[in-house]
A and B are shown apart, each in its own frame.
Chain A
Amino acid sequence: MTSVPVAEPVAAPAPRAPALIPGAPPPASVVADIWRGIGRENPVLVQLLGMCPTMAVTNVLANGLAMGLATTFVLVGSGLFVSLFRKYIAHEVRITSYILIIATFVTLADMILAAILPDIRKALGPFIPLIVANCLLLGRAEAFAAKVPVHRAVADGLGMGLGFTLSLSLLSTIREVLGNGSILGHPLFGPRFEPWVFMMMPPGGFLALGIALLGVAYVMELKKRRARRTA
């Protein structure tokens, strides 16, 4: 039995980059398509997509949740339609068409929020219409939904949306608990708690995101080491 010292720089087999463009994504089950967005390819914590809403609206949990769910709605809706019409959308006008589909669903999400959750919509302000510009949407449409059957596109949209929602919820929970001493508006601590207002302001978003990314990187490093050791 030959043991390889861990410290020695072993040339690990280079991770094979998934062939995203061009060509279709490798076949996978619907469940795997959903899980990929929540875990291994989490849009915020791994792909670092959609940083603008991530920073802007994660000050309290209610906002983060609403933003995540609105984005999920747009991801699923646009994935469905992009995939449904992928054979009819000419190559030359595909980006225009994707943006049109995305913008339509964003407008619908905005109007539905105005009808059922007007206060949250007011708190989110311009960031609901700005979902159109979230690179996550166009990224998934171009790289995934346009190349797979409808059920996989919807599964991917759902997974990416849930991953986005969970990441935003995580960040906004950290920020609301520390910055306001509450969760979903319910006070957690006694009246003597001095809220760390810094966490509610933009710099708090960077700090919370940095801590979350650190955690993800640490877990990934641990996994990599374990894999190397068992290899």
Chain B
Amino acid sequence: MTDAPQCHVPPTPPAEPAHTPAWKLLLTLLVAGAAAGWLIVSVYNLTLPAVQKHAAEQVDAAVREVLKAPARWDTLYLVGSALSAKLPAGGDKAEAPKAFVGYDSAGHRIGVAITAAEPGFQELINLMIGFDPATGTLTGYKVLDQQETPGLGQRIETDTAFTHQFAGRVAPLKGVKVLAGGDPSQVQTITGATISSRAVIRIINNAVAKWRPLVQAYDRGGQL
């Protein structure tokens, strides 16, 4: 009667770990966070030269492509609201907005290459744009960075039928479904990637509208 019913009693689970004081938890996370931060900063500094070198190579290749293989090019920096061949002391070369002015082997100016980034369908689209500041005629563009939909929006980078039509067009561009007449400002958008195509056109128009007067003002300043 006094006996409890015979049943299998599972072994008592291991005792809960003793309660840890809050300061110890804080200390654990503090030390771990500091160590992690130190490690990340060290590796960041170690890898930075290689990353910068790669970025510079990418920009070089893009300038060469959009200006159709210039013999040489000068770099102009945007200081305040005017272009200048020299950065003021303390300016960051990598961060300052700049224009690359390309010349052919005879010394004639081919055009100006600039970078511009604006939102596309998902993320910022970063372009290198080449144009002739005298006429506003494009020499081409190259995608430096984009995160558009694979297979659709990504074609602004991979579809040569789309990318090659920009050379010779005159900004401001108009995106159309079907080319009509001989209007040199028309660009045929990609079926299935209208938003990304229009984003490219918008970025180019805004960039040319911003940089063309700057380069022209610099030219006048240089001649005076």
Interface residues in chain A, defined as those with a beta carbon under 8 Å from any beta carbon in chain B? 22, 85, 88-93, 96-97, 100-101, 103-104, 107-108, 111-112, 114-116, 118, 125, 201
Q: Does B82 contact A (CB under 8 A)?
A: no
Of A88, A111, A116, the contact of B28 (CB 8 Å cutoff): A88
Are A90 and B28 in contact, with the CB atoms below 8 A? yes
Alpha-carbon separation in the docked complex, A125 to B146 (Å): 10
Are A93 and B29 in contact, with the CB atoms below 8 A? yes
26 example contacts (A-B, Cβ-Cβ < 8 A) are as follows: A22-B13, A22-B14, A90-B24, A90-B25, A92-B25, A93-B25, A93-B28, A97-B28, A97-B32, A100-B32, A100-B33, A100-B36, A101-B32, A101-B36, A104-B36, A111-B40, A111-B47, A114-B47, A114-B50, A114-B54, A115-B46, A115-B47, A115-B50, A116-B50, A118-B51, A125-B147
Closest partner residue, chain A, to B49 (CB atom): A115
Q: Does B17 contact A (CB under 8 A)?
A: yes
Binary CB contact string for chain B from 12 to 38 against chain A (1 if under 8 A, 0 otherwise):
011001001000110011001100100
With A104-B36, A107-B40, A118-B54 already in contact, the answer to whether A89 and B47 are too (CB < 8 A) is no
User: How many interface residues does chain B have, given as a range?
Assistant: 20 to 34
In addition to A88-B28, A97-B28, A97-B29, 4 A-B residue pairs with Cβ atoms within 8 Å of each other are A85-B32, A108-B40, A111-B40, A201-B151
Chain A residues whose CB sits within 8 angstroms of the CB of B28 once the complex forms = 88-90, 93, 97
Alpha-carbon separation in the docked complex, A118 to B144 (Å): 13
Alpha-carbon separation in the docked complex, A111 to B13 (Å): 44
Alpha-carbon separation in the docked complex, A96 to B28 (Å): 10
Minimum CB–CB distance from B24 to chain A (whole Å) comes to: 6
Question: Which 10 pairs of residues, A with B, have the shortest CB-CB distance?
Answer: A115-B47, A115-B50, A104-B36, A90-B20, A91-B17, A111-B47, A118-B54, A93-B25, A108-B43, A114-B51
Alpha-carbon separation in the docked complex, A115 to B17 (Å): 44
Q: Does B1 contact A (CB under 8 A)?
A: no
